[in-house]
Amino acid sequence: MPLDDESQSVHTFEQPVDNVEEMPQALINFRHANPDKETDILDIDLIDKDDIQACAEYVREIYEYLLQSEGKYMLGSDFLSNQIDFDAEDRTLLVDWISRCHTRFNLANESFFHCIAIFDSYLSRVVVPKASNRLVGICCLFIAAKYEQSYIPSLRHFVEALTQVDPEFLVNCKCEGNRSGPCYRCSREAIIDTEESILHTLDFQLAMPTILTFLRRYARISEMKNRDRYIAFYISELSCLTTSIFKFKPSEIAAGCIAMSRRLTRKPTWDETLEKYSGYTESDTKKVMAEISTIMKKYACNPKARYIRRKYSQEDRFYGVSLMIETVVTQALTLNTKEAK
């Protein structure tokens, strides 16, 4: 029983631009940055020339292509406008629940961000009933895991994630404990059918650049320490909870997350090396940082982001960066309250 019976075609993907006048400024800046020009800027890729996995010989061409193609998959911040009974708040809870499943399955970060990109693309085209949102979410994670992972959990584990009752989730299936077994929406058949619906709806176009695609690159360029990098990762996952951030491109969001992490750790927000390798200037990051600041104030202490916050509160894995951000946000809100009085 695929979900595309109620589908509405809302967004169409644009083709990558070749006309220089239509190119994003970041791509123009990126192309004009001459890697062979003698400057005091460190050649990051030269350091990795002996690492075969770093693709140092053509990594610039890869990211030039990604900067050019990311606009093809842009949805905008209003991509939920076609939904009937599924709004931005419902999506926030669902994305946080997906983060829980992602952590439970011990999947790579790429799978989470790719899942969200697939999920949002599908929502922009198909009306999803509220009762089926977890089914669609887990299917998107299933697809993303197949795309990104060398090993994925069995289908049985994804079915178990659907049937497990979450007392704080907005919709739990009523089939839990039924003698006749789980209902269709919590069955392996539903996952397979919905997976097929998603893939056909998106026309198998799954190679969308994500925030993490650029975030890893910019963190490498910035030579971030582990704690600083995890701050940027945490901010980027918090950003996925809201639709407002998607008025920016993934590369812009990634740049904003790096800039915010550097600011929180008392470093210069941006520098010439980041500008050279990203194509973005410090002024380009300010609007994104303003949006990220709003998101942090909204979700850093919000129970709707409990799974993402809990994950990044682990000292042994993530240096407890969510607790640090929570302290910073609490202090900022307290200061603003005092100033208002």
Q: Kindly report the CATH number that applies to the domain delimited by 88-202.
A: 1.10.472.10
| Rounded average pLDDT over 85-113 | 93
Domain extent listing, the chain: 25-73, 88-202, 211-340
- Rounded to whole angstroms, the Cα distance separating 23 from 14 reads 13
Task: Name the CATH superfamily housing domain 211-340.
Answer: Cyclin-like (1.10.472.10)
- Rounded to whole angstroms, the Cα distance separating 194 from 210 reads 22
Most confident of 1-5, 27-31, 99-103: 99-103
- Rounded to whole angstroms, the Cα distance separating 80 from 127 reads 9
Q: Where are the alpha helices (DSSP H) in the chain?
A: 25-32, 44-47, 59-69, 88-104, 109-123, 133-148, 155-163, 188-201, 211-221, 226-239, 250-264, 272-278, 282-299, 306-311, 315-318, 321-340
Question: What is the tens place of the pLDDT at every residue in 189-207?
Answer: 889 999 999 999 999 999 9
Q: What pLDDT sits at residue 14?
A: 40
164 phi and psi angles, rounded to 5 deg = -75, 125
- Rounded to whole angstroms, the Cα distance separating 125 from 38 reads 48
- Rounded to whole angstroms, the Cα distance separating 103 from 225 reads 23
| Rounded average pLDDT over 111-124 | 96
- pTM for this entry: 0.83
Question: What is the tens place of the pLDDT at every residue in 15-61?
Answer: 444 444 455 666 666 556 555 554 556 677 777 777 777 777 888 88
Do the domains spanning 88-202 and 211-340 agree at the CATH topology level? Answer: yes
How many whole angstroms from its chain centre is CA 201? 21
